Amino acid sequence: MHLFECYNNILSIIFSCFIMFQSCAAGASNALKGSKEKSGSVGLLVAILLLTGAIIMIATRNGGKGSSVACVILFLLGAIIGFPNAGTYKDLKIWAVYCIVLAMINLISVLTYKEKKSAKKRVNEISLTQKSITQNQQSMSSAKNASEELQQYKKMLDDGLITEEDFEVVKKQILNI
């Protein structure tokens, strides 16, 4: 997890606690006034979504883009709920904007994660290619050795030092037949 993301998540947790207190105050104010406004309850919901997103990001700091996608959805949901229901709780619009900023940061994280993964994939492909080249060189070297060894036994057969049957047995061993 980058330092910026860590600070951002900690700030989100602190802000969500602050939003909860503000929402309780806004809800109490609405209840005392007898208004049917729901900005306090909505603020509480935005705070819970913000807190949930921050906890997900901290818990899955190296989890890939799935957690970032989940946070984009949570933060956008907080913004979508917060803006139209702000009412007398004007700070709720500020927190909705903050949710949009967090959603954009996580969206950028999702889009740049793809590049990191493809670079890692390229490194793996290069490594596999190098292994393949090494194996091919080893097999070519062993084929050359087998060819030289077969030529030596063929010369021994031609010189009468071994029989045809001995040559066939040795040939099968060398060629792994």
Top mean-pLDDT range of 63-72, 88-97, 120-129, 138-147: 88-97
115, pLDDT greater than 70 = no
Take residue 97 and report the two structure tokens written for it. Answer: 């904007």
pLDDT at 77: 92
62 and 140 share one domain: no
pLDDT tens, residue by residue, 15-58: 888 888 988 888 888 888 888 888 888 888 999 999 998 888 88
Last residue of a domain, one of 114, 144, 159: 114
Residues 6+ apart with CB under 8 A from 174: 146, 149, 150, 153
Alpha-carbon span 116 to 128, nearest angstrom: 19
Q: Which domain does 102 fall in, by range?
A: 3-114
Domain boundary among 114, 144, 167: 114
Q: Are residues 135 and 68 in the same domain?
A: no
Is the domain of 96 the same as that of 170? no
149 in the same domain as 104: no
Looking at the structure, tell me whether residues 98 and 145 fall in a common domain: no
